[in-house]
Structure 1
Amino acid sequence: MLGRFRGKQGPDAQTGVQEQDIGVSNDTEKAPQHMHIPRFNHNGHKVTRGIKPDGESGRGGIHPWHFIRICFRSTSHMSMCVNVLWPFVPPAIALHFARPDLNLWIFVLNYIAMVPSANLIGFAGQELARKLPKVFGVVLETFLGGIVEIVLFMVLLHNDVNNNLIPVIRSAILGSILANLLLCLGFCFFAGGLRREEQEFDEVISEVGHGLLLMAGFGLLIPTAFYASLRGSMDSGLLESKTLSISRIASVILLVAFFIYVYFQMRTHHGLYDSVLEKDEERDHDREDDLKKAKLTFTECIFALAIALTCVSLHAVFLVEEIEYMITERGVPDAFMGLILIPLVEKAAEHLTAVDEAWDNQMNFALAHILGATVQTALFNSSLAVIVGWGLHKAMDLNFEVFNIVILIMAIIVVGNFLRDQKSNYLEGSLCILIYILIAIASWYYPNPVPGASNTAEAAGAAHGGG
């Protein structure tokens, strides 16, 4: 017979383990196997079936006051500071309709407003991930963090006329990878190194991620190398057509590699990732405080994601419409716009989350987010842009500027060298950040490509003939 149940509030409660007092009668009668014994998490909340104890909010539906308070608190103190930028969101949207002639202000306001909107996606994604199995939660959280980037790429493709925005998309693809590998990883190494002499991480995370990055870098390099090798010795229209075809084939192959990687993480080798991430949770300096925090309900997570995605989409549309003005009238170089400005705003939320994890000694979680986001951009997002461009009859290819692709390959090699010993410190972080600053300076002085020079399509019609 079932006796009484008591939810434990001691140290073991942090892992969702409950103490059960089950009285058994003298006749050793067992409880029916189909009966469900309720579980209670660290805060004493009854855990809903299918929800992990760490993500149980103890509530249901939507509670406006709790929703606003929890969202403003966000994931960390840095993320909470970002939320003070929410007052920029309404005027950024309103100004686009009220004063469309104020191009500079529209660009600046929407650029700033994109940051808190993207931050909300990151926070709601993290709250949702906590309710799910660890590996699946990290994969979903990483994918949601990349939604901002996908939205921007799609808006850029839609607004492209005569290939005027294709160079920006190409630069943004590489810029996103560089921002993750150098800037975000650098700040993670630096922040973690300030609190401890060295931080260690597992090879399961670093080796798989770096191997995929090398493969992705090779895949992205092939169309550029093909075009650069044959430029001048083949008719330009035919060369562009063949390069476009190679880019589309390469995109399909990179997509296959991405789905194999996801399957590897979530199905065949998820046990390895689970054990590594569980050890990281035990090392979390803020573990107790994080468990005690109030959490969003499942419904509130979906609602927050809907609000954030709506705002991000609007800001992306308004931002992209002003890019041509910023390049032609304000003299912002194509390379700087795509390589630095766009990736910084789209990756802000992911960077804050990863740096906070490194600060709390969760370097495996930080690397999982950084390398996962980088692999998603290199394998999935870039391929998606090419394939969607194919469907829209746009000459979107992987024929990057030689300057950009050389920087990418060198960044992958440098970061791989830092990851090899499975240790990090603030020196390595500082070097990554300084390299990124140097790239930003070089991209500011890099001239805008002109037809017939470098890896630039001369005519959209010639490129369209390749597919």
Structure 2
Amino acid sequence: MGSLDGRSAHGHEDKGHLCGSENITQKSGLNPVSEGGSFSRVSRVVSMETLSHGVCRSIKTVVFSNKLNLLMPFGPLAILVHLLNDNQGLVFFFSLLGITPLAERLGYATEQLAFFTGSTVGGLLNATFGNATELIISIHALRGGMIRVVQQSLLGSILSNMLLVLGCAFFSGGLVFIKKEQLFNKSTAVVNSGLLLMAVMGLLFPAVLHYTHSEVHFGKSELALSRFSSCIMLIAYGAYLYYQLKTDDHQYEPLNEEVSPSASAGQNVNDKDEAPEISKWEAIIWLAVMTAWISFLSDYLVDAIDGASKAWRIPIAFISVILLPIVGNAAEHASAIMFAMKDKLDISLGVAIGSSTQIAMFGIPFYVVVGWMMGTPMDLNFHLFETAVLFITVLVVAFLLQVCLERISGFMFCNTRRQYALVFYSCCTLSPCINTPL
């Protein structure tokens, strides 16, 4: 009886599977008896249905999962206004709104890809694609001959990352973890600070050469020195990447989780809950799509900068130093603060300081070389005031990271005062850059 019941059960199961396949063949209009290749066609139909379901799920996850994506229609609206009305102020405003969710989704796709690449490569990807929006905008500006816009947007990105973002990350982490100490890897901060000092020296020499009027050939010696320094900085940054990928392969991982009091309770649970929402190839495809759309909108954004400045009666320096870096780095600004609030201060430093290092050691010299190939006299002379602000900023942040902020307490009086000081200093430093003439 037992065997008969088992056979009957299997018989019903086989009938069920057979009926399911018959239903699929009936829906698709195929007859498995009369046609020899019908089952292969059924499998193709099923695979197409699975593919369409996966595409719909990916679009739903990436496009419809964030309220900020409600701003995406402003991108096509900017193109429509440019074609119909050509109001430069509206074109710039709509382009700025349309690029903002794209920059955030670019950071989201990078974070999803980081689940499959590891901590070190993921940190480099976050820093690279976090700056992708601003790098694309700068390429369009350089192609249009707007050298000062490129220089000031890169400068504003470094200042906002090193001062505003880093200070807000420290302060937010201190508010969340009041009665504990947040730790970070000091060696990584020392390496980044050294690279930033090297970048500042590369920017300082052409400015000093220009303002001391000691050039043998006026204008040519400054440009030649800028190009030579840019090549040296690119080689140094390549060596730094090799050091990150081959030698120091654990710098973005949390520092000694067993020592951290929060690692035993809340952090491990959160790490288990974190899982990729899209696959690796979906993340790569979305990165390509977002980058192409940002590049397309950046062309309209850059062309409307001059008209928006005249229509809104604001200096181009404000747009270059404040607006463009905020939009381009919005994703990494938010991620650095969120990681600090999750007691992952090493990742916050990797995003904020790593992004500044990448712009200073790769972005700026890269545009000098690109301008060299395009015949545009892009140099490292950021004018005396901007260079002095950058030099003082690097010194202050390096001093805080190496000496004062080796152990950042949550709300202890001394360390909290330093966090307030860093945020206040960032506001005081960025404010005079707004009124700097071009």
How far, CA to CA, are the matches of 1:205 and 1:268 in structure 2?
A: 12
Please state how far the C-alpha of 1:272 moved relative to its aligned partner.
Answer: 5.5
Identify the match of residue 76 of structure 2 among 87, 90, 94. 90
Structure 2 residue aligned with 1:145, among 124, 127, 130?
130
Cα distance in 1 for partners of 2:309, 2:265 equals: 45
**Aligned counterpart in structure 2 of residue 257 of structure 1, from 230, 236, 242:** 236
> Following the alignment from structure 1 to structure 2, what is the Cα–Cα distance between the partners of residues 440 and 398?
20
Once residues 127 and 250 of structure 2 are traced to their aligned partners in structure 1, the CA distance between those partners, rounded to angstroms, is 19
| Alignment CA distance shift 1:179-1:97 (3 Å) | same
1:41-440 equivalences under 5 Å are 63-71=54-62, 80-99=66-85, 101-160=86-145, 165-197=146-178, 198-230=181-213, 238-271=217-250, 276=255, 282=263, 285=266, 288-289=269-270, 291-292=272-273, 295-420=277-402, 421-424=405-408, 426-440=416-430
- Cα root mean square deviation, aligned: 2.6
Q: TM-score, normalised by structure 1?
A: 0.74
The 1:427/1:393 distance shift into structure 2, 3 A limit, reads same
Letter of the 2:365 partner, please give it: S
Assess, with a 3 A threshold, how the Cα gap between structure 1 residues 139 and 445 changes in structure 2: closer, same or farther.
closer
Q: Tell me how far 1:338 sits from its aligned partner.
A: 1.9
**TM-score, normalising length: structure 2:** 0.79
User: What code does the residue aligned with 2:363 have?
Assistant: N
Which amino acid is the alignment partner of residue 90 of structure 1? Answer: P
How far apart, CA to CA, are the structure 1 residues paired with 2:224 and 2:294?
32
Counterpart residue type for residue 214 of structure 1: L
- Residue identity matched to 2:186: E
Partner of 1:20: none
Deviation at 1:84, TM superposition (A): 3.5
Instruction: Report if the CA contact (8 A) 1:115-1:348 is conserved.
Output: yes
Task: Percent identity, please.
Answer: 30
Which of these two proteins has the greater Rg computed from alpha carbons?
Answer: 2
Match of 2:9 in 1: none
Q: Which residue of 1 aligns with 2:435?
A: 445
Look up the SS of the partner of 1:117 in the other structure.
helix
- Check conservation: 1:135, 1:273, Cα contact below 8 A: yes
Would the aligned equivalents of 1:192 and 1:426 in 2 still touch at CA under 8 Å?
no
Q: CA deviation at 1:70?
A: 2.8
Conserved 8 A contact 2:89-2:311: no
> Structure 1 residues 322 and 294, CA, compared in 2 at 3 Å: closer, same or farther?
same
- Higher alpha-carbon deviation: 208-217 or 119-128: 208-217
Q: Is the 8 A contact 1:336 1:440 kept in 2?
A: no
Quote how far apart the aligned CAs of 1:87 are. Answer: 3.5
User: Deviation at 1:325?
Assistant: 1.6
**Residue in 1 that maps onto 2:13:** none
| CA displacement at 1:65 relative to structure 2 | 3.6
Structure 2: which 5+ runs fail to align? 1-49, 409-414
> How far is 1:69 from its partner?
3.7
Q: Residues 215 and 221 of structure 2 are in contact (CA less than 8 Å); yes or no, is this contact kept in structure 1?
A: no
Give 1:250's aligned amino acid: S
Higher relative contact order (CA 8 A, sep 6+): 2
1:273 is displaced (CA, Å) by 5.3
Which runs of 5 or more structure 1 residues have no equivalent in the other structure?
A: 1-58, 75-79, 449-467
Cα displacement (A) at 1:146: 1.8
- Measure, in 2, the Cα distance between the counterparts of 1:62 and 1:298: 17
Asked if the contact 1:190/1:427 (under 8 Å) is kept, the reply is no
Give, in angstroms, the shift of residue 123 of structure 1.
Answer: 0.5
| Contact 1:125–1:144, Cα closer than 8 Å, also in 2 | yes
CA distance in 1, matches of 2:283, 2:350: 22
- 1:15-55: CA deviation from partner (whole Å, max 9, x where unpaired): xxxxxxxxxxxxxxxxxxxxxxxxxxxxxxxxxxxxxxxxx
- Number of residue pairs the alignment of both structures matches: 376
Task: Tell me the CA shift for residue 239 of structure 1.
Answer: 1.9
Structure 2 distance, partners of 1:408, 1:307, is 34
Q: Distance in 2 between matches of 1:284 and 1:132?
A: 26
Secondary structure of 2:323's counterpart equals helix
Alpha carbons 1:171, 1:338 under 8 Å: kept:
yes
Amino acid across the alignment from 1:252 = C
Shift in Å, 1:381: 0.7
SS in 2 for 1:413: helix
Structure number with higher helix proportion: 2
Question: Shift in Å at residue 443 of structure 1?
Answer: 2.4
